C-alpha cells in the first residue's frame, strides 16, 4: 500500500488543496507509478506503470549562488527532467557553506526536488549530489563547461558545469575540457544552469534537432 510522508501529505492537502477521493498519481521516484485516490489513507485506483530511465541521463553542475537561488535552480531542473544536479564550490564562488549550512541546505534542496517532481508529474526523481569540489566535478562522465566561445550543447556530452557569478578563474579555465555555449548574452549563474538543463533535455526528448552525431 503506498504511503505518504508527513511533508507530502501536507503538500497535497494544504498546497495542492486535494479533497478526499481526488485522483493522485504516486511514484517511487525511480520510474514506477500508479493512480490512487487521496484521503486519510491512499486507495489504489490503478495498476503499476513503469517509465524507462531517461537516456542519456542529463547532469547539470552549478557553482553555489546567493540566497534562495540554489532552490530555484533545483526546482526548475527537476521540472525539466534533469537526472542529476551537482552543487559545487569554485574559486570565485561568493557563497561558502560550513558543515551545518551544507547539511541544512542539501536537505532543503532535496525536498525542493521532491515538491517540483510532484508538481510537474515527474516519475524519475533527480539525484541531488552532496556539495562537490571543482576537481570532483571535472571527473564526472561526459562533463563539459559553459563558457564563451564554446560549441552548441550536444548529447555526446550530456553533462554541463556552470561557473560562479564571477566567472571561471584563470586556473580553472586552463583545466576545463570541452566548452559549450549557452548563447550570445551574459546570463546570471542560475539562468545559465536552467538554460543548460533545458537545452540538454530538449535535445534528449527530440524537441530540437541534434547538432552532432546521433546518440545510440
Q: What is the pLDDT along the chain (216 residues), one digit of tens a residue?
A: 677 888 888 878 888 888 999 988 888 889 898 898 998 888 888 889 899 989 999 999 999 998 899 999 999 999 999 999 999 999 999 888 889 999 999 999 999 999 899 889 899 999 999 999 999 999 999 899 999 889 999 999 999 999 998 899 999 999 998 999 998 788 999 999 999 999 999 999 988 876 655 554
Query: Cell 571543482 appears where?
Result: 134
Q: Please indicate, yes or no, if residue 169 is contained in any of the structural domains.
A: yes
Total domains in the fold of the chain: 2
3-8 long-range CB contacts below 8 Å, 24 or more apart?
A: 3/42, 4/42, 7/111, 7/114, 8/114, 8/118
101, 137: one domain: yes
82, 177: one domain: yes
C-alpha cell at 104: 541544512
d(C-alpha 16, C-alpha 129), whole Å: 28
Domain that holds residue 42: 6-50
Enumerate the β-bridge partners of residue 40: none
Q: Please indicate, yes or no, if residue 212 is contained in any of the structural domains.
A: no
**Residue 29 pLDDT:** 87
66, 36: one domain: no
**Residue 156 pLDDT:** 92
Q: Please indicate, yes or no, if residue 216 is contained in any of the structural domains.
A: no
**Residue 1 pLDDT:** 65
46, 65: one domain: no
Amino acid at each position: 500500500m503506498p504511503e505518504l510522508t508527513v511533508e507530502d501529505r501536507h503538500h497535497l492537502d494544504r498546497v495542492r488543496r486535494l479533497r478526499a477521493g481526488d485522483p493522485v498519481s504516486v511514484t517511487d521516484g525511480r520510474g514506477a507509478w500508479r493512480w490512487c485516490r487521496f484521503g486519510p489513507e491512499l486507495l489504489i485506483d490503478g495498476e503499476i506503470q513503469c517509465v524507462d530511465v531517461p537516456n542519456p541521463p542529463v547532469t547539470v553542475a552549478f557553482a553555489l549562488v546567493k540566497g534562495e537561488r540554489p532552490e530555484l535552480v533545483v526546482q526548475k531542473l527537476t521540472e525539466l527532467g534533469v537526472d542529476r544536479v551537482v552543487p559545487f564550490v569554485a574559486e570565485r564562488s561568493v557563497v561558502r557553506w560550513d558543515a551545518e549550512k551544507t547539511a541544512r541546505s542539501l536537505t532543503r534542496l532535496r525536498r525542493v526536488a521532491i515538491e517540483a517532481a510532484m508538481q510537474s508529474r515527474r516519475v524519475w526523481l533527480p539525484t541531488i549530489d552532496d556539495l562537490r569540489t571543482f576537481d570532483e566535478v571535472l571527473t564526472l562522465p561526459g562533463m563539459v563547461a559553459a563558457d564563451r566561445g564554446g560549441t552548441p550543447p550536444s548529447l555526446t556530452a550530456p553533462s554541463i558545469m556552470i561557473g560562479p557569478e564571477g566567472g571561471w578563474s584563470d586556473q580553472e579555465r586552463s583545466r576545463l575540457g570541452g566548452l559549450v555555449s549557452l548563447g550570445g548574452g551574459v546570463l546570471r549563474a542560475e539562468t545559465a544552469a536552467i538554460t543548460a538543463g533545458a537545452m540538454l533535455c530538449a535535445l534528449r526528448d527530440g524537441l530540437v534537432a541534434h547538432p552532432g552525431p546521433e546518440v545510440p
